[in-house]
Amino acid sequence: MKKIILSLIILSYLIPQNVKAQDDGAAIAAVAGGLIAIGAGIAAVEQMKEQAELTATEWLLTKHPEYTQFQLKTLDFNGKKLKDMSSTSVITFKIREFDIVEDRPQLSTKLVLFGFTSFGWINEYGIDFDKVKWFLIDNNEWMNMMTSYSKIASGVKDENAIKKALLNGKVVNRGINAKKGDDIDFYKIDGDMYLVSDYSPEMKFIYNERSLGIYLKETRNLIQIGRGDLIKIHEFFFEE
């Protein structure tokens, strides 16, 4: 609602104050049409977010019945526009287990659930979850993933040094800012250059410019996770 009101204010400034009376109706109609489109876009993304969270919750309940007390939220829907959603490669969910202490929830274990998408995952009916592949990780698996990614992105072979930098520093656009000056800088390569590492039986990692590429062997899809999302996930695991 706040976004719609803000859009109305902005659009009101875009309409000349000396517009002729006969043009008032057309101007008002244009504003109204713009607001309807904005509102529809916001509502559609919010509906997709709710649909995604529900399906992710159902997947977790089905595949991991050992989790009986948890919180699940999307990590990457905020700020998304409807036109951008179809090109999204992965939906990310933050999961927190919790215990009830003195009638209040106390958050504990952190998990991240990836929903890797493939072409056509959004259609006129919403999200086709048959085109989404799920992958659940904890902080240890994330550390292993980031270590493998940082090795190919930087050329540093010392895994202990990388893990120390990841634990004590910050992931930034150009690498890892570590304490005591032990920074790890990532290569500056062109957008058509790729550095590849065979991470697991399920996936390969590809370093390409400022993104983490995950090649899913089963589906043969190359998923791009932007550096901004990498930073958010790392902060969720190790800073919150």
- Give the per-residue pLDDT at 152: 93
The domain tally of the chain equals 2
pTM here is: 0.76
Domain that holds residue 122: 2-137
What pLDDT is stored for residue 224 in this prediction?
A: 84
Q: How far apart are the first and last CA of the chain?
A: 29
Helix (H) or strand (E) holding 4: helix 2-14
Q: Identify the pLDDT of residue 24.
A: 53
pLDDT for 162 equals 93
Q: In what order do the strands lie in the sheet with 170-172?
A: 170-172, 175-177, 184-185
pLDDT value, residue 5? 46
Q: Looking at the structure, do residues 66 and 173 belong to the same domain, yes or no?
A: no
The per-residue pLDDT for 27 is 47
What span, in angstroms and rounded, lies between the C-alpha atoms of 229 and 233?
6
d(CA 120, CA 85): 11
The residue out of 104, 137, 170 marking a domain boundary is 137
Considering only CA atoms, which of 116, 109, 129, 115 is closest in space to residue 66?
109
pLDDT (0 to 100) of residue 20: 46
Q: Distance between CA atoms of 174 and 156, rounded to whole angstroms?
A: 14
Same domain, 98 and 202: no
Are 128 and 22 part of one and the same domain? Answer: yes
Residues 40 and 61: their CA atoms lie apart, in Å, by: 31
State whether 127 and 204 are in the same domain: no
Give yes or no: residues 10 and 119 share one domain.
yes
Residue 50 one-letter amino acid: E
Pair 116, 143 in one domain: no
Residues 24 and 61 in one domain: yes
Do 102 and 6 reside in the same domain of the chain?
A: yes
Q: Which of 137, 156, 174 is the last residue of a domain?
A: 137
84 and 144 co-located in one domain: no
Do 48 and 102 lie in one domain? The reply is: yes
For residues 165 and 158, give the distance between their C-alpha atoms in angstroms, rounded to a whole number: 11
Domain boundary among 89, 115, 137: 137
Residue 117 parent element (H or E): strand 104-117
Same domain as 98, residue 203: no
Full pLDDT tens readout for the chain, 240 residues: 545 444 444 445 444 555 444 555 554 444 444 434 444 455 666 788 888 899 999 999 999 999 999 999 988 765 444 454 455 578 899 999 999 998 899 999 999 999 998 877 777 777 788 888 999 999 999 999 999 999 999 999 999 999 999 988 888 878 898 877 788 999 988 878 999 999 999 999 999 876 788 999 998 888 888 878 888 899 999 876
Same domain, 100 and 129: yes
